[in-house]
Amino acid sequence: MKFSHPEMLLLIWLAPLLGAVFAFGMRKRRRILKRYASEKGLTVIAPSVSPGRRRIKAGLISVAIVCIVLALAGPQYGYHWQETERRGIDIVIALDCSRSMLAKDIDPTRLDRAKREVIDLLGMLQGDRVGLTAFAGAAFLQCPLTIDYTVFNLFLNSLTPESIPVGGTNLAAAVNVSREAFKTETNSDKAIILITDGESTDGDVLKAAKLAAKDNIKIFCIGVGKEGGAPVPGKEGGLKKDASGKIIITKLDETTLKKIAAITAGAYVRSVTGDMDLDTIYRDEIRAKMDARTLTTGRQKIGEDRFQWFLIVAIILFLIELFLPTAKKTVAAFFILGILLGVTPQTQAASVHSNLKAGQEAFTQGDYETALKHFIDAQLDNPDNPKIAYNIGNTYYKLGDYEAALKSFQEALKSKDAQIRLKALYNTGNTHFRQEKYKEALASYEKALGIDQNDLQSRKNIEFVKKVMAQKKQQQEQNKSKPDNKKSEKEKKEDSDKKNSQPQNDPPEKPDENKKSSSEKDDPQKKGAAPQNQPPEDKDKKDAEAPKKEKTQSAGSKPDEPGKDDKNNAEQAQQALNRLKDQPGKAMMPMYAPPRVEKDW
């Protein structure tokens, strides 16, 4: 048993605290009564009052409080499978990391404010995948598309102007790198949020926007900075100046950003005070106008809530305390108490037995769907019972779901009862035979013989499967030896008659019904799991025997030895790694030679 809200167990301290309050109250009551009258006088004034019953009532309330706390903690026992899916949109945030983003016209800086806005956006995402592109004079993918927002934050916080080796503002590279990040097999809509404060200094950004529009990618542009522009901070302090000594003022090219948004059916927002309206863009543009499609599906194990057990006990204890009198004369209260104690919920063992019995009856009548439902309900109440798993395997086998049957037989093999393991192995062999996996079938029958050497059915099945394998092999050799398989109608008819007379269509015999012990009365009959005509089949594909591959080596050849080139490459790689700073995403950045950039801010 486990708890879905274990933090609620801290409230269990209310029980001893309440018990202390009751003890203090009863002690104070005794002191007051002693001051009112002597003990002899109290027996005359209130002869029917029982202090012992007051203690019992206090104890019942304390235990009821404990049960309520356990119910609030969400006890779970057993589980069921639930289909799950994740729906969302793929979003890549392209963030300008040029030196002009360190301008302080927006507090604290343009870059820091943009990071905070992006972090706020992450709190609004509803299962969407998000990626990060860092750009200045060049661009690279800092974080691929992911739903792990913690990792995304790690990459985002590490961005600085020093992260990009080339200065400037290459919007075309930012759009192209972001567009390449979507090269994955997904049917979700795609969006790029482009955050920048400068004019494009390289590349044809409008051409890149048209390519993005062709791929059905929308670009939402956010211009950062005041209308008059702002001076660019220098690397070593102060302000950056041009060759003539004038202070460089960076200005935003709003016209280009508006064209990019119009080409891709996106939107443009001008951020002057630092509010980038990312929440509005996400809520009103991305979520409202773009389709959130299924990205992943799967199955999730959901625990079965059992809070009802403790809640019922608490209610019964409260009712007992309510009807239990403090006086000794009332007999009706004990009658009511006996009735309450007699009305108890159906126990877990009774529920398991009831479901097993109903499942066996449905299995005998051939209603396998209903039988499977009852057996699964029984397994929810007792998930570790291998006998129930064996029954489920037999039912799956009758329904033709041999993979599920094999999994249930594997669970039944965990039983300590040798008879259960013997029958599970026998039915596993029959299941493999159904899928013509003869080697696996032989292995299962041989394991069954390892448990019981006197198992005649397993021995007969082994002999029969070997005959079938020999006949299959003989037929394959005959087919290979005959170049022309064309026969007359008379020959085909004779071959068909011979094939029908061969024993390979006679499946292994079913296990002896005498193997069924008296302790297995709730099991479906073995003959239902392994009919005499043919044995059950199939095993998980992971257990299929893979063909052995032999590695051959030509005569005179020698095994490869590491040469000097490999050693030199390893040394160079180690030196390159040693030069890298401990910054997330740094190793993903391509190497750039220092190009000549006219506007490197």
Residue 586 lies in a domain: no
- Supply the pLDDT for residue 187: 66
Write the burial class of residue 154 (CB in 10 Å: 0-12 exposed, 13-18 middle, 19+ buried).
middle
- Distance set, CA 152 to CA 159, 192, 301, 474 (Å): 11, 16, 28, 62
**Same domain as 218, residue 90:** yes
**Does a structural domain hold residue 577?**
no
Tell me: do 286 and 228 sit in the same domain. Answer: yes
What confidence score (pLDDT) does residue 147 get? 87
Q: Are residues 94 and 60 in the same domain?
A: no
Tell me if 571 is assigned to some domain.
no
Angle at which helices 456-481 and 438-451 cross, to 10°: 160
579 in a domain, yes or no? no
User: Is residue 575 assigned to a domain?
Assistant: no
In this predicted structure, what is the pLDDT of residue 1?
80
Host domain of residue 280:
86-235+246-298
Task: For strands 267-271 and 2-3, give the pairing.
Answer: unpaired
- Which amino acid, 482? K
Is residue 359 within 8 A of residue 398, CB to CB? The reply is no
Residues in the chain with pLDDT < 50? 330-331, 333-334, 343-346, 484-488, 490, 492-494, 496-567, 569-582, 587
259 and 407 in one domain?
no
Domain count, the chain: 3
Residues facing 222 on adjacent strands: 195, 269
Same domain, 467 and 510: yes
Q: Per the domain annotation, does 493 fall within a domain?
A: no
pLDDT at residue 86, rounded to an integer: 65
Phi/psi for 200 (5° steps) reads: -70, 130
Across 52-170, the runs of DSSP E, i.e. the strands, are 75-88, 90-96, 129-135, 139-146
- Angle, alpha carbons 88-92-98 (nearest 5°): 160
pLDDT of residue 174: 93
User: 358 lies in a domain?
Assistant: yes
Whether 394 and 416 map to the same domain: the answer is yes
Q: How many angstroms separate the CA atoms of 482 and 268, rounded?
A: 75
Examine the domain organization and report whether 46 and 116 are in the same domain: no
* 110 and 187 in a common domain: yes
Residues in the chain: 601
Q: How far apart are CA 571 and CA 504, in angstroms?
A: 65
250: domain CATH number is 3.40.50.410
Alpha carbon separation from 463 to 442, 446, 451, 456, 501 (Å, rounded) = 9, 11, 18, 11, 18
Name the H helices within 274-417: 278-280, 288-289, 307-323, 332-342, 348-364, 368-381, 386-399, 402-412
Is the same domain home to 117 and 166? Answer: yes
Which of 76, 462, 128, 488 is CA-nearest to residue 294? 128
